[in-house]
Structure 1
Amino acid sequence: MACLHDHSCEDHDCSSNWSLYKHIDLPKGHLESNEGDPELLVYIPFTSDVKIKSISIVGGADGTSPSKMRAFINRDGIDFSDAQSMQAVQEWDLVENLNGVLEFQTRYAKFQSVASITLHFPDNFGGDTSQIHYIGFKGEATQLKRDVVATIVYELMPNPSDHKTKAESGGGYSQVE
């Protein structure tokens, strides 16, 4: 892992020392639903497969914090209609977490090999809008990076035109009949 400082991150725990969370202007930096509609949908892709142990959500004050959270794993392109009708991998009843001290545990066995996660927040604690200031994940990443993709072709039935013999390509062998 390459670091932008003078030591190897493998030998040190850089996650807390190099986190910029404390420098975020929380009142100004947030997701917010439309007026009168508390529902939010957040898609988060990862650069490598991850195992998620817990999720932390910091919501807004005055009833704008989400009251429920639903998670979908490795499902791209989910819209609000899909989120409302699909079975989530896990659902949580949330509590207002304005200081980020609460973590909501996952059913860890179901949160292995996560390439992306979609979080659906269908409701809040009575505010006109829903606000999310921070979404945090605890867990571990695998070493396999998403930008390394292998293309593998499988043949159920071989196509002879794809497999030229030496006789067909001008080689010294003749075809046996």
Structure 2
Amino acid sequence: MSGHGHSHGGGCGGNHDCDEHMTEEQLAAAYSLYTKINMDAVQCLNTDSPAKCVFKPWEQRLDKEKYVESDADPELMFIIPFTGNVKLKGIIVIGGEEGSHPNKMRLFKNAREMTFDDVGRKADQEFELTPDSQGNIQYGVIAARFNSVDSLTIHFPSNFGEDNTKIYYIGLKGDFHEASRQEVVIATYEARPMPGDHKATSDFENFHHPIS
């Protein structure tokens, strides 16, 4: 499904928030989800640039000193793990000049092992992008599809005509929830070797496969 609507200028449409009516302080607070990203684990495929440099405070969104630029072709893929669970609400993308701004964006929820070999799968949501050098356009996501996100994969398959894609800023808006204490206790318990896990080979064996 493609998302064609976005909020900018003087009006609002679809399920998009009226960010143009918010103060700079309110926008800075709304787009502070970058603080909940596990920055050391952020990846971006098809670039030698530091992937985490595009996730920064709202007031630094127009800083053009650091950016991510694709290498072999226009395609980029960001894998963004969070430190808890996120209810994603909106995304802002500030891309490069002229034709180096991405023209499409595909979102995949909880797909942190994804590579370019997997791009044929159906995205949870897709957008056609508009060049945005100031961060004026928010792309609102379908809330029901992004209400329990522990990682977000963003695929930019192409741009507006240049050989390489350039991105200065990706702003993420949403609600954050810490991993519950119960989840932490269960994870610790399962990490401990238990006597029952070492039965004789004649016993029935149980195989546990991680759910992606």
| TM-score above 0.5 | yes
SS at match of 2:83: strand
RMSD (Å), alpha carbons: 3.1
- In the alignment, the residues of structure 1 paired with residue 137 and residue 153 of structure 2 have an alpha-carbon distance, to the nearest angstrom, of 20
Preserved CA contact (<8 Å) 1:47 1:145: no
- Asked if residue 26 in structure 1 is aligned to residue 63 in structure 2, the reply is yes
- In the alignment, the residues of structure 2 paired with residue 95 and residue 26 of structure 1 have an alpha-carbon distance, to the nearest angstrom, of 20
- Asked if residue 87 in structure 1 is aligned to residue 131 in structure 2, the reply is no
SS at match of 1:125: coil
* Partner amino acid, structure 1, of 2:126: E
Partner of 1:59: 95
TM-score scaled by length of structure 2: 0.59
* Partner amino acid, structure 2, of 1:119: I
- The correspondence for 1:106, drawn from 141, 146, 161, is 141
Give percent identity, aligned residues only.
37
Preserved CA contact (<8 Å) 1:75 1:116: yes
Where in structure 2 are the equivalents of 1:1-177 lying within 5 Å?
Answer: 15=29, 20-23=57-60, 26-35=63-72, 37-83=73-119, 85-144=120-179, 148=184, 150-151=186-187
- In the alignment, the residues of structure 1 paired with residue 111 and residue 165 of structure 2 have an alpha-carbon distance, to the nearest angstrom, of 23
Higher alpha-carbon deviation: 103-112 or 138-147: 138-147
Q: In the comparison of the two structures, how many residue pairs are matched?
A: 144
* Structure 2 unpaired stretches of 5+: 1-25, 33-55, 191-195, 200-212
The ranges of structure 1 where at least 4 consecutive aligned residues each deviate by more than 6 angstroms after the TM superposition are none
- In the alignment, the residues of structure 1 paired with residue 85 and residue 185 of structure 2 have an alpha-carbon distance, to the nearest angstrom, of 13
* Structure 1 unpaired stretches of 5+: 1-12, 154-158, 163-177
Preserved CA contact (<8 Å) 1:52 1:112: yes
Q: Deviations over 1:38-61 (max 9, x none)?
A: 100001111110001111111011
